[in-house]
Amino acid sequence: MRYDPRVSEDLLPAEPRAQFRCCPRCAAALTGPGACPLVCASCGFTYYFNPAISAAGILLRGDGQGLFIRRGHAPGLGLLAFAGGFVDAGETPELALRREVREEVGVELEAIEYLGSQPNTYDYRGVTYHVVDLIFVATIGDGVPRALDGVAAVEWHDPLTLDPARLAFASMSWGLGIFQQRRA
């Protein structure tokens, strides 16, 4: 899988009226074209559809095996994924990755190296969130991996031979493909 810098048309923001029918500030019904940014004609509230940021990691142990999670909830229920999650306000992506890995699989990370980024969408409770996934490669430190928050199971796979198509999200498939390409 080669890196393709083009933006996928299916990852562009949905028409704003599909996400909001009323103003988040004053609750007035939104009328007119669903432009981006969304502007309320009643109160002037302006909402930009900026993406959220997530941090996920290809987590390696000393023998080169990678720790993958089996997702315990939608989207991607039951599919393989990297451990990771959304970056909180005031948090760097690296700190978010450390926190999310502790929360999801109970291990600490040592070396963290940035691999790349990709756009993604995350459907949650009827809203499609646009996300920029930051993918890292990290070395597992202390702790015994176990399925915790939102994780159905943890699995070890060789990240150099695992088919990227088996991952829950296109951004993670891309990341695993780039990892394999660079390590080949």
Confidence band (pLDDT; 50, 70, 90) for 7?
A: very low
Domain residue ranges of the chain, discontinuous segments joined by +: 1-49, 52-183
CA-to-CA separations, 41 to 29, 31, 66, 81, in angstroms, rounded: 9, 8, 51, 42
Residue 74, token pair as written in the block: 């939608």
- Note whether 133 and 171 are within 8 A (CB): yes
Residue corresponding to tokens 């980024």: 117
* Rounded CA separation 117/138 (Å): 15
- Note whether 19 and 128 are within 8 A (CB): yes
CB environment 88-110: b (16+ within 10 A), e (fewer): eeeeebbebbbbbbbebbbbebe
Give me the architecture of the 52-183 domain, per CATH. Alpha-Beta Complex (3.90)
- Each residue of 9-35: pLDDT tens digit? 555 555 656 677 888 899 998 876 666
- Each residue of 173-184: pLDDT tens digit? 999 999 999 998
